[in-house]
Amino acid sequence: MNPYAVLAAAAAQGGRIVALLAPGPRQRLAALLDRVRRDGRREPSPEQRYAAALDAVDLLAEELPELFGGEQQARFTLTASPGAGAEDATHHGFGAEDLAVLLIDGHRMVGPLLGPVRERLLAAPALDVGAVLRGGGDPYAPGLIRLGGRGGVVRLPAFQFTADHRPRPVVLDVNGILAADRDPWGAADWWLSTDARLDARPETLVGTVRELQLLDAARTLTEQE
Protein backbone atom coordinates (compact mmCIF):
# COMPACT_ATOMS: atom_id res chain seq x y z
CA MET A 1 0.00 0.00 0.00
CA ASN A 2 1.17 3.49 -0.83
CA PRO A 3 -0.05 5.68 2.07
CA TYR A 4 0.24 8.82 -0.05
CA ALA A 5 -2.22 7.30 -2.53
CA VAL A 6 -4.68 6.66 0.30
CA LEU A 7 -4.36 10.25 1.52
CA ALA A 8 -4.84 11.44 -2.06
CA ALA A 9 -8.06 9.42 -2.27
CA ALA A 10 -9.24 11.03 0.97
CA ALA A 11 -8.48 14.46 -0.49
CA ALA A 12 -10.53 13.63 -3.57
CA GLN A 13 -13.55 13.19 -1.29
CA GLY A 14 -12.77 16.56 0.24
CA GLY A 15 -15.44 18.00 2.48
CA ARG A 16 -17.06 14.62 3.01
CA ILE A 17 -14.03 13.33 4.92
CA VAL A 18 -13.77 16.52 6.97
CA ALA A 19 -17.46 16.26 7.88
CA LEU A 20 -17.29 12.57 8.83
CA LEU A 21 -14.35 12.92 11.23
CA ALA A 22 -15.07 13.95 14.82
CA PRO A 23 -13.15 17.03 16.06
CA GLY A 24 -10.54 15.02 18.00
CA PRO A 25 -9.53 12.67 15.16
CA ARG A 26 -9.67 15.58 12.73
CA GLN A 27 -7.13 17.49 14.83
CA ARG A 28 -4.88 14.43 15.12
CA LEU A 29 -5.03 13.89 11.37
CA ALA A 30 -4.15 17.54 10.76
CA ALA A 31 -1.12 17.21 13.04
CA LEU A 32 0.09 14.16 11.10
CA LEU A 33 -0.46 15.84 7.76
CA ASP A 34 1.58 18.80 8.95
CA ARG A 35 4.49 16.36 9.25
CA VAL A 36 3.79 14.92 5.81
CA ARG A 37 3.70 18.14 3.81
CA ARG A 38 6.80 19.85 2.46
CA ASP A 39 6.68 23.60 2.95
CA GLY A 40 10.18 25.00 3.32
CA ARG A 41 9.86 25.73 7.04
CA ARG A 42 11.53 22.44 7.78
CA GLU A 43 12.60 19.46 5.76
CA PRO A 44 11.70 16.18 7.43
CA SER A 45 13.37 13.21 5.83
CA PRO A 46 11.47 10.99 3.40
CA GLU A 47 11.40 8.33 6.10
CA GLN A 48 9.81 10.75 8.60
CA ARG A 49 7.20 11.87 6.10
CA TYR A 50 6.45 8.29 5.16
CA ALA A 51 5.99 7.28 8.82
CA ALA A 52 3.60 10.19 9.37
CA ALA A 53 1.68 9.24 6.22
CA LEU A 54 1.33 5.65 7.47
CA ASP A 55 0.06 6.91 10.84
CA ALA A 56 -2.44 9.16 9.05
CA VAL A 57 -3.74 6.21 7.03
CA ASP A 58 -4.03 4.12 10.21
CA LEU A 59 -6.11 6.90 11.77
CA LEU A 60 -8.41 7.04 8.75
CA ALA A 61 -8.78 3.25 8.80
CA GLU A 62 -9.67 3.33 12.50
CA GLU A 63 -12.14 6.19 12.28
CA LEU A 64 -13.64 5.44 8.86
CA PRO A 65 -13.13 1.70 8.29
CA GLU A 66 -15.83 1.50 5.63
CA LEU A 67 -13.84 3.92 3.48
CA PHE A 68 -10.23 3.30 4.45
CA GLY A 69 -10.08 -0.12 6.11
CA GLY A 70 -7.79 -2.93 5.00
CA GLU A 71 -9.85 -4.10 2.02
CA GLN A 72 -10.17 -0.57 0.70
CA GLN A 73 -6.44 0.12 1.18
CA ALA A 74 -5.62 -2.86 -1.02
CA ARG A 75 -6.92 -0.91 -4.01
CA PHE A 76 -3.98 1.49 -3.85
CA THR A 77 -0.57 0.97 -5.44
CA LEU A 78 1.78 -1.18 -3.38
CA THR A 79 5.17 0.12 -2.33
CA ALA A 80 7.60 -1.38 0.15
CA SER A 81 9.30 1.83 1.25
CA PRO A 82 9.23 5.63 0.90
CA GLY A 83 10.80 5.17 -2.49
CA ALA A 84 11.06 7.60 -5.37
CA GLY A 85 7.68 8.68 -6.65
CA ALA A 86 5.65 7.41 -3.69
CA GLU A 87 4.97 10.94 -2.40
CA ASP A 88 3.72 12.06 -5.81
CA ALA A 89 0.82 9.59 -5.88
CA THR A 90 -2.47 11.15 -6.97
CA HIS A 91 -6.10 10.08 -7.09
CA HIS A 92 -8.19 11.77 -9.79
CA GLY A 93 -5.65 14.59 -9.75
CA PHE A 94 -5.69 15.07 -5.96
CA GLY A 95 -2.63 14.53 -3.76
CA ALA A 96 -1.82 14.20 -0.06
CA GLU A 97 -0.96 17.91 0.01
CA ASP A 98 -4.57 18.68 -0.89
CA LEU A 99 -5.80 16.87 2.22
CA ALA A 100 -3.39 18.98 4.29
CA VAL A 101 -4.83 22.13 2.74
CA LEU A 102 -8.37 21.05 3.58
CA LEU A 103 -7.66 20.23 7.21
CA ILE A 104 -4.87 22.67 8.11
CA ASP A 105 -5.30 25.67 5.84
CA GLY A 106 -9.08 25.52 6.12
CA HIS A 107 -10.29 26.02 2.57
CA ARG A 108 -11.16 23.99 -0.52
CA MET A 109 -8.80 25.40 -3.13
CA VAL A 110 -7.50 21.92 -3.89
CA GLY A 111 -7.31 19.41 -6.70
CA PRO A 112 -6.16 19.55 -10.32
CA LEU A 113 -8.18 22.66 -11.16
CA LEU A 114 -8.15 24.81 -8.03
CA GLY A 115 -4.78 23.74 -6.61
CA PRO A 116 -2.72 25.60 -9.25
CA VAL A 117 -4.94 28.67 -8.78
CA ARG A 118 -4.27 28.52 -5.02
CA GLU A 119 -0.52 28.37 -5.54
CA ARG A 120 -0.57 31.24 -8.03
CA LEU A 121 -2.62 33.51 -5.77
CA LEU A 122 -0.56 32.73 -2.69
CA ALA A 123 2.63 33.50 -4.64
CA ALA A 124 1.48 37.08 -5.29
CA PRO A 125 2.91 39.86 -3.05
CA ALA A 126 1.04 39.87 0.25
CA LEU A 127 1.15 41.11 3.82
CA ASP A 128 0.57 39.07 6.93
CA VAL A 129 -1.57 40.16 9.86
CA GLY A 130 1.44 41.27 11.90
CA ALA A 131 2.80 43.52 9.16
CA VAL A 132 -0.53 45.32 8.78
CA LEU A 133 -0.90 45.75 12.54
CA ARG A 134 2.65 47.09 12.89
CA GLY A 135 1.87 49.60 10.17
CA GLY A 136 -1.17 50.83 12.08
CA GLY A 137 -3.73 49.18 9.82
CA ASP A 138 -6.57 46.77 10.54
CA PRO A 139 -6.08 43.40 8.82
CA TYR A 140 -9.62 42.39 9.76
CA ALA A 141 -11.35 45.44 8.31
CA PRO A 142 -14.54 44.53 6.41
CA GLY A 143 -14.05 44.26 2.67
CA LEU A 144 -10.44 43.10 2.63
CA ILE A 145 -9.44 39.90 0.86
CA ARG A 146 -7.91 37.45 3.34
CA LEU A 147 -6.50 34.20 1.98
CA GLY A 148 -5.61 31.14 4.04
CA GLY A 149 -1.97 30.25 3.45
CA ARG A 150 0.03 27.32 4.76
CA GLY A 151 -0.97 26.39 8.27
CA GLY A 152 -3.98 28.67 8.04
CA VAL A 153 -1.78 31.78 8.16
CA VAL A 154 -3.76 34.76 6.86
CA ARG A 155 -2.28 36.48 3.81
CA LEU A 156 -3.65 39.80 2.54
CA PRO A 157 -2.81 40.62 -1.09
CA ALA A 158 -0.58 43.70 -1.02
CA PHE A 159 -2.37 45.68 -3.75
CA GLN A 160 -5.17 46.37 -1.27
CA PHE A 161 -3.01 48.72 0.82
CA THR A 162 -1.33 52.09 0.55
CA ALA A 163 2.32 52.46 1.54
CA ASP A 164 1.22 53.20 5.13
CA HIS A 165 -0.89 50.01 5.31
CA ARG A 166 -4.27 51.72 4.90
CA PRO A 167 -6.91 49.95 2.79
CA ARG A 168 -7.41 51.63 -0.57
CA PRO A 169 -11.02 52.88 -0.81
CA VAL A 170 -11.47 51.78 -4.43
CA VAL A 171 -10.33 48.27 -3.52
CA LEU A 172 -12.84 48.05 -0.67
CA ASP A 173 -15.60 49.26 -2.99
CA VAL A 174 -14.72 46.71 -5.66
CA ASN A 175 -14.34 43.93 -3.10
CA GLY A 176 -17.85 44.73 -1.93
CA ILE A 177 -19.17 44.27 -5.46
CA LEU A 178 -17.24 41.00 -5.80
CA ALA A 179 -18.52 39.74 -2.41
CA ALA A 180 -14.94 39.15 -1.29
CA ASP A 181 -16.08 38.42 2.27
CA ARG A 182 -17.89 35.32 0.96
CA ASP A 183 -15.51 34.36 -1.85
CA PRO A 184 -12.04 35.78 -1.17
CA TRP A 185 -10.34 33.40 -3.61
CA GLY A 186 -12.66 34.33 -6.46
CA ALA A 187 -12.14 38.03 -5.78
CA ALA A 188 -8.37 37.61 -5.57
CA ASP A 189 -8.35 35.66 -8.84
CA TRP A 190 -10.14 38.53 -10.60
CA TRP A 191 -7.73 41.15 -9.25
CA LEU A 192 -4.65 39.13 -10.14
CA SER A 193 -5.69 37.84 -13.59
CA THR A 194 -5.96 39.73 -16.87
CA ASP A 195 -9.48 41.08 -17.38
CA ALA A 196 -10.55 41.23 -21.03
CA ARG A 197 -12.67 44.35 -20.51
CA LEU A 198 -9.77 46.24 -18.93
CA ASP A 199 -7.03 44.61 -21.03
CA ALA A 200 -4.95 44.51 -17.86
CA ARG A 201 -4.70 42.87 -14.49
CA PRO A 202 -7.05 44.94 -12.30
CA GLU A 203 -4.45 45.22 -9.52
CA THR A 204 -2.15 47.19 -11.86
CA LEU A 205 -4.76 49.94 -12.25
CA VAL A 206 -5.09 50.70 -8.54
CA GLY A 207 -3.70 54.17 -7.83
CA THR A 208 -3.72 55.17 -11.53
CA VAL A 209 -6.01 57.44 -13.54
CA ARG A 210 -7.90 54.32 -14.66
CA GLU A 211 -8.82 53.01 -11.23
CA LEU A 212 -12.45 54.15 -11.45
CA GLN A 213 -12.84 51.77 -14.41
CA LEU A 214 -12.43 48.95 -11.90
CA LEU A 215 -15.88 49.60 -10.45
CA ASP A 216 -17.61 49.30 -13.83
CA ALA A 217 -15.62 46.17 -14.71
CA ALA A 218 -16.53 44.49 -11.43
CA ARG A 219 -20.21 45.40 -11.84
CA THR A 220 -20.21 43.99 -15.38
CA LEU A 221 -18.63 40.79 -14.12
CA THR A 222 -21.22 40.23 -11.41
CA GLU A 223 -24.10 41.08 -13.75
CA GLN A 224 -22.93 38.35 -16.12
CA GLU A 225 -22.96 35.68 -13.42
Could you tell me if residue 19 is inside a domain? yes
> pLDDT of 30-83, one tens digit each?
999 999 987 656 677 888 999 999 999 999 999 999 888 877 766 665 554 455
Q: CA-CA distances (angstroms) from residue 67 to 27, 108, 165, 173?
A: 19, 21, 48, 46
> pLDDT of 110-146, one tens digit each?
999 999 999 999 999 999 999 999 988 899 999 999 9
Specify whether 103 is located in the same domain as 128.
no
Q: How many domains does the chain have?
A: 2
Specify whether 71 is located in the same domain as 131.
no
Specify whether 129 is located in the same domain as 58.
no
Could you tell me if residue 178 is inside a domain? yes
Last residue of a domain, one of 81, 108, 135: 108
Could you tell me if residue 212 is inside a domain? yes
Specify whether 100 is located in the same domain as 167.
no
pLDDT at 88 over 50: yes
Question: For residues 46 and 100, what is the distance between their CA atoms, to the nearest angstrom?
Answer: 17
Q: What is the pLDDT of residue 23?
A: 95
Specify whether 18 is located in the same domain as 84.
yes
Please answer whether residues 30 and 66 qualify as being in contact, where contact means their C-beta atoms are separated by less than 8 angstroms. Answer: no
Last residue of a domain, one of 61, 81, 108: 108
Could you tell me if residue 113 is inside a domain? no
Q: State the CB neighbour count (10 A cutoff) for residue 146.
A: 19
- Domain with 39, as residue range(s), is 3-108
Specify whether 183 is located in the same domain as 159.
yes
Q: What is the pLDDT of residue 80?
A: 46
Q: What is the pLDDT of residue 152?
A: 87
Whole-model pTM? 0.86
Could you tell me if residue 117 is inside a domain? no
Could you tell me if residue 118 is inside a domain? no
Specify whether 174 is located in the same domain as 215.
yes
Could you tell me if residue 70 is inside a domain? yes
> pLDDT of 166-191, one tens digit each?
999 999 999 999 999 999 999 999 99
Last residue of a domain, one of 75, 108, 141: 108
Specify whether 192 is located in the same domain as 159.
yes
Which distant-in-sequence residues (6+ apart) come within 8 Å of 23 by Cβ? Answer: none
Q: What is the pLDDT of residue 76?
A: 67
Q: CA-CA distances (angstroms) from residue 26 to 18, 23, 104?
A: 7, 5, 10
Specify whether 83 is located in the same domain as 143.
no
Specify whether 213 is located in the same domain as 139.
yes
Q: Taking all residues of the chain, what is their mean pLDDT, rounded to a whole number?
A: 90
